């Protein structure tokens, strides 16, 4: 589901020159964090390089589909940045109307600086994007049929990722939204995506596919001469005090 979510992000943002790579995958066992959405607690302990890395957390999201903060809400390096997703919104986890991964696309949009298309309803500055028509913020935001709820030109952008329609209805961003993302990232997140290699506490996957694996998995009792848990290949780190057997996979563990 996680890899599929990354695929959905890439397919949704590719037209605008944005791409996402799964740098690392961490599993944390804490029912309080998962069920009670103790956001500041788990983010302060789990966040990896918030200035350069998009951190995504899957929990029950406090009963929401997900949420994220805008770039200007916190300093670039604050651990509060990132995206929180209800785990049921990941692709193919739960069979319902928000099961295609588009909640992740929507929340990453907020993370990159986009407002809802119905921001300020029919008045004010709206979402600060010229090519998304104004939209009333009533119950219509959930409907997937053509409407024009404001007197200004243009039908409601029901297919826009920053609307509240369900996953089989939303399919697009606009060029104006792309321009706003570029401006917001340049202004508030200039370090985003600049880090090379794996974050602290992680090592390169030996397969050379660019993935990162938890460094703690080396010497943890799993056989590093074969694929590690969650598909990590740690075969190039096999000299690690007995995780390997000398007669398995050509292993050269010093203690075998």
Q: How many helices (H) and strands (E) does the chain have?
A: 5, 5
The string of pLDDT tens digits covering residues 30-81 is 999 999 778 999 999 999 999 999 999 999 988 899 999 999 999 999 999 9
Share of the chain above pLDDT 90, in %: 68
Surface-to-core class of residue 132, CB atoms within 10 Å of its CB (0-12 exposed, 13-18 middle, 19+ buried): buried
97 annotated active-site? no
* CA neighbours closer than 13 Å in the CB half-sphere of residue 193: 12
Helices assigned H by DSSP within the chain: 2-13, 31-36, 39-46, 102-111, 175-188
The dihedral over CA atoms of 161, 165, 168, 170, expressed in degrees to the nearest 10, equals -20
Q: How confident is the model at residue 199 (pLDDT cuts 50, 70, 90)?
A: low
Q: How far is residue 104 from each of residues 31, 48, 51, 160, measured CA to CA in Å?
A: 22, 19, 19, 14
CB 168 within 8 A of CB 97: yes
Q: How confident is the model at residue 232 (pLDDT cuts 50, 70, 90)?
A: confident
Q: How far apart are CA 148 and CA 156, in angstroms?
A: 5
Q: How far apart are CA 133 and CA 155, in angstroms?
A: 7
What domains sit in the chain, N to C, each tagged with a CATH number?
2-188 (3.40.390.10), 198-256 (no CATH)
From 107, 186, 215, 226, active-site residue: 107
- The overall average pLDDT reported for the chain is 86
Closest CA to 31 of 21, 23, 22, 41: 41
User: Any idea what the Cα angle at residue 113 is, between residues 15 and 118, rounded to 5°?
Assistant: 90
Predicted pLDDT at 87: 95
Q: How far apart are CA 88 and CA 64, in angstroms?
A: 11
DSSP string, 184-201: HHHHH-TTTT---SPPTT
- On the question of pLDDT at 242 being above 50, the answer is no
- On the question of pLDDT at 252 being above 50, the answer is no
Contacts of 207 (CB under 8 A, 6+ apart): 233
pTM reported for the whole predicted model: 0.77
Q: How far apart are CA 176 and CA 131, in angstroms?
A: 6
């Amino acid at each position: 589901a996680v890899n599929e979510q990354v695929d959905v992000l890439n397919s949704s943002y590719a037209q605008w020159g944005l791409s996402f790579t799964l740098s690392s995958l961490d599993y944390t066992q804490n029912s309080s964090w998962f069920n009670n959405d103790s956001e500041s607690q788990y983010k302060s302990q789990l966040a990896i390089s918030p200035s350069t890395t998009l951190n995504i957390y899957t929990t029950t999201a406090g009963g929401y589909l997900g949420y994220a903060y805008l770039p200007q809400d916190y300093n670039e390096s604050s651990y509060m940045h990132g995206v929180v997703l209800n785990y049921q919104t990941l692709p193919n986890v739960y069979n319902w109307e928000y099961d295609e991964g588009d909640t992740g696309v929507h929340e990453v949009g907020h993370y990159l600086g986009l407002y809802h298309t119905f921001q300020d309803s029919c008045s004010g500055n709206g979402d600060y994007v010229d090519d998304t028509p104004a939209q009333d913020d009533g119950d219509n935001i959930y409907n997937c049929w053509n409407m024009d709820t404001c007197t200004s030109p243009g039908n409601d952008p029901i297919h826009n990722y920053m609307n509240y329609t369900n996953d089989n209805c939303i399919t697009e961003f606009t060029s104006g939204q792309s321009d706003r993302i570029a401006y917001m990232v340049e202004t508030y997140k200039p370090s985003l995506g600049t880090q090379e290699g794996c974050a602290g506490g992680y090592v390169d996957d030996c397969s050379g596919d660019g993935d990162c694996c938890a460094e703690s998995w080396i010497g943890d009792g799993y056989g590093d001469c074969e694929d590690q848990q969650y598909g990590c290949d740690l075969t190039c780190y096999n000299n690690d005090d007995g995780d390997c057997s000398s007669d398995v996979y050509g292993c050269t563990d010093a203690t075998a």
